[in-house]
Chains A and B, each alone.
Chain A
Amino acid sequence: MWLWFHRLGSGPTFYPFAGRLAWLLAIPGLLLLLHGLYGALWAAPVDYQQGQGYRMIFVHVPAAWLSLFIYSSMAVAAVVALIWRMKVAEVYIIDAAIPGAGFTAAALITGMLWGKPMWGTYWVWDARLTSELILLFLYLGVLALDQAIEDKRQAARACALLALVGAVNVPIVHYSVEWWNTLHQGPTVSKFDSPSMDMRMLVPLLELTLASTLLFGTIVLVRMRATLLWRERHSRWVGEIVEAGQ
């Protein structure tokens, strides 16, 4: 098991494994996505208060979940990268940060678009919104640091440390923002205040969340394969793969 774990950390073992795993995640991910979309856009009833507008939640919640999930997974990868210097974990941090920043931006934008008709404003200085915005800046910081360092292995280690420091900070940021917000403003609108959801809405929501997590896995594995090929383009195993035309 341990040996397998270590072997997986190297390019030649990881590359074909990631290729198979990407398919393994993509197929159930796509099926769930289609079924969830059908459930979300056709089958689910219209909300009695929000009308059709509530359907934004089917994009918003998966994106918001992924923004947090990806950052946590980056922190785990950062620990692995810093302790065991595992190449695959180093590659993961950057290749996950790009979709992570995208999902964070998507969560913010969909939230704003939903907020305009529902709350009457695009932006509220609410604790959730503000900490999500700060999370976006943490992602962008990781990406900027990676861009700034020429040596890619060194960049990955620097990003790993930054991701780890950021992960320690995220809960502190979240709670301090919450505290600041409750100190300064009256009761704020929270989307979880409403009574629990109808099953016809909840099931597609969970399906779509799972589907986007699986598809994120596919995307990140494909990206990692490409990054590994490029970084180790001078090594023999890459040459063999290119010659075999796989």
Chain B
Amino acid sequence: MRGVTALLRRELQRYWRRRGDALQAPLIFCLICLLFPLGGVPSPEHLARYAPAVIWAGALTACIFGLEALYRQEMAEGWVDAMLLSAWPMPLVLFIKALVHWLFTGLPVVLLAWPMSRALYFPAEQVSAILYGLLLGTPVLVLLGGIGAGLTAGMGRGGLLTSLLMLPLYVPVLIFGAGCGVAAHDGLPITGQLYLLACMLVAAMFLAPWASAAALKIASESS
């Protein structure tokens, strides 16, 4: 347990020291959300209709960009190899890393989604539906993304490849996450979508760290 807190503190410090880098992902999220009105018809009814899709497209992109920072430096510094050699259970280590990564890249996106939804004229009383969807969905994106980031960790520049590998796998999260917003916009209940997202989150929390550990192990074999 002391090890867990030590690791948690190390991760928090790492991200805090480079908080400027961590801010890039939420900034990209805002930019993407603001590009859509410029590229389309900026009328309130159109924007409100597409707001969930825009917000989620932004969240997916921001998450994918953020994944770069997940293991790349650790891999280069030899931290991954040291961890693999140590008695630490790798899935637990990666779970903690994913958690801290989400705190610094996912949570800001969830918080920024509130002003962004309003900027897209999404009805104020329904915004919570988008936020709940993101709150349950973005950790799934980070956890799943850990697998892709692990597979490409050994490469010089695998960012583009990570998105190619991961985006198809993000489809279910996108459907139910954005589905929350769409259903709320139409005045329908959103509990079904939220339950399914929660289900995915539990499954991802349980399974994804194991898959990420296997991926990192494969990636570290060459070096």
- Residue interface mask B10-34, A partner, CB < 8 A = 1: 0000000000000000000000000
Q: Give A134's nearest chain B residue, CB to CB.
A: B168
Chain B positions within 8 Å of A172 at CB level: 172, 200
Chain B positions within 8 Å of A158 at CB level: 151, 215, 218-219
A62 within 8 A of B: no
B37 within 8 A of A: no
Chain A positions within 8 Å of B167 at CB level: 137
Q: Which of A8-16, A49-57, A160-168, A198-206 contacts B (4 or more CB under 8 A)?
A: A160-168
CB <8 Å contact, B169 and A169 = yes
B147 within 8 A of A: yes
Q: Which of A98-106, A174-182, A188-196 contacts B (4 or more CB under 8 A)?
A: A174-182
Q: Give B219's nearest chain A residue, CB to CB.
A: A158
Give the contacting residue for A141; candidates B158, B168, B176; CB below 8 A.
B168
| A165 touching B211 in the complex, CB below 8 Å, given contacts A138-B168, A145-B161 | yes
**Docked complex Cα distance between A145 and B164 (Å):** 9
Chain A positions within 8 Å of B83 at CB level: none
Q: Bin the interface of chain A by size.
A: 20 to 34
Give the contacting residue for A169; candidates B151, B172, B219, B222; CB below 8 A.
B172
CB <8 Å contact, B218 and A161 = yes
Give the contacting residue for A173; candidates B171, B182, B222; CB below 8 A.
B171
CB <8 Å contact, B218 and A157 = yes
B214 within 8 A of A: yes
Give the contacting residue for B165; candidates A141, A149, A164, A177; CB below 8 A.
A141
Give the contacting residue for A161; candidates B147, B155, B164; CB below 8 A.
B147
**Docked complex Cα distance between A155 and B77 (Å):** 22
B152 within 8 A of A: yes
Q: Give A82's nearest chain B residue, CB to CB.
A: B214
* Residue from A148, A150, A168 with most neighbouring chain B CB atoms (10 Å): A148
| A165 touching B168 in the complex, CB below 8 Å, given contacts A148-B158, A154-B221, A176-B175 | no
**Docked complex Cα distance between A154 and B182 (Å):** 43
Residues of chain B in range 170-223 having any CB-CB distance to chain A below 8 Å: 171-172, 175-176, 179, 182-183, 196, 200, 207, 211, 214-215, 218-219, 221-222
Binding site for A on B (CB under 8 A): 147, 151-152, 154-155, 158, 161, 164-165, 167-169, 171-172, 175-176, 179, 182-183, 196, 200, 207, 211, 214-215, 218-219, 221-222
Other than A137-B168, A141-B164, A180-B175, give 19 A-B pairs with Cβ distance below 8 A: A82-B214, A137-B164, A141-B168, A144-B161, A144-B164, A144-B165, A150-B222, A154-B219, A154-B221, A161-B147, A161-B214, A162-B151, A165-B169, A166-B169, A169-B169, A172-B172, A176-B172, A177-B171, A183-B183
